[in-house]
Amino acid sequence: MSRIKWEIARRIIGRYYLVQPNNWPHRFAPEHLAHLQYPQDGKNNKSADACQDAIEYACGIGELPFTVESFKFPPSAAAFDSIMDTPESEIADKWLAECSMQELPAISADDFKQWLTRWREVPSEHIAAWFDARCTAPATTTMPAPETHPVTTEQETPGSKPSWNLKKPKRFQCYARPLYELLREFHIGGKPKPTAHDVLEAFSKANHPEIASVIIGVELNYYTAGGTTIKTANLKAIGEAIRKMTL
């Protein structure tokens, strides 16, 4: 039965989880867990978005243990049209080539069960099936200790609670997806909010399908309109994009 439930679950998170083993994986990223806890058809799943934010926040303040693993994600919308224009025999290879690898928190079944139990949250049928397949220890009902709020300095301690928060956009357009992922990486790591210069530096070392080119310290060029048009974002525009995604 566990294998059947996994086949159902992996269809729920298919667009978020490409490396699909034959049975339940030992760890999931926050968005995988959020969509398994609050599955819903359609584009707008506010419950899953809120759950993902809560999971990432818990990771960021050290309440929910995690490791960091690489997850493969599907091509962006900007790359989709160009993939579909390739000969049919080449689509599969082109699709895989356009996939991106992301370093994300990876949470085990035992740790997630412990976290849900502490907050008296009932697991969904999909999460419960994962627990049945992968949990090795019973959960306790001990509530988490109250949060402490140490005095922050300009240089925040890696892994500590950052003094800023994320605000997920309703839609990912242009270079919003890789920018949000970078902000999330800084936030989970307890780092200070990145500047536009930090963004350019990071983008210059990554291979994002939305980004055409980067001039460090100056600007980035990104694809829009299905990947057929290139536009430019200078430091001021990148700074404004960061402001809209943070609190």
SS (H, E, C) 5-56: HHHHHHHHCCCCCCCCCCCCCCEECHHHHHHHHCCCCCCCCHHHHHHHHHHH
Higher pLDDT, 93 or 194: 194
Q: What is the DSSP letter of 206?
A: S
pLDDT of 114 strictly over 50: yes
Which two structure tokens, joined as six digits, stand for 242? 């960061």
Residue 53 — pLDDT band, cuts 50, 70, 90?
A: confident
Residue 148 — pLDDT band, cuts 50, 70, 90?
A: very low
pLDDT digits (tens, 9 = 90+) for 177-219: 899 989 988 888 888 899 989 999 899 888 888 888 898 888 8
Nearest to 186 by CA among 171, 201, 207: 201
Report the predicted TM-score, pTM, of the whole model to 2 decimal places.
Answer: 0.55
3-state SS assignment for residue 28: strand
**Residue 97: alpha-carbon gap to chain centroid:** 20
5 Cβ contact partners less than 8 Å away, ≥ 6 residues apart? 125, 126, 129
> Out of 42-46, 155-159, 192-196, which region has the weakest mean confidence (pLDDT)?
155-159
Higher pLDDT, 157 or 150: 157
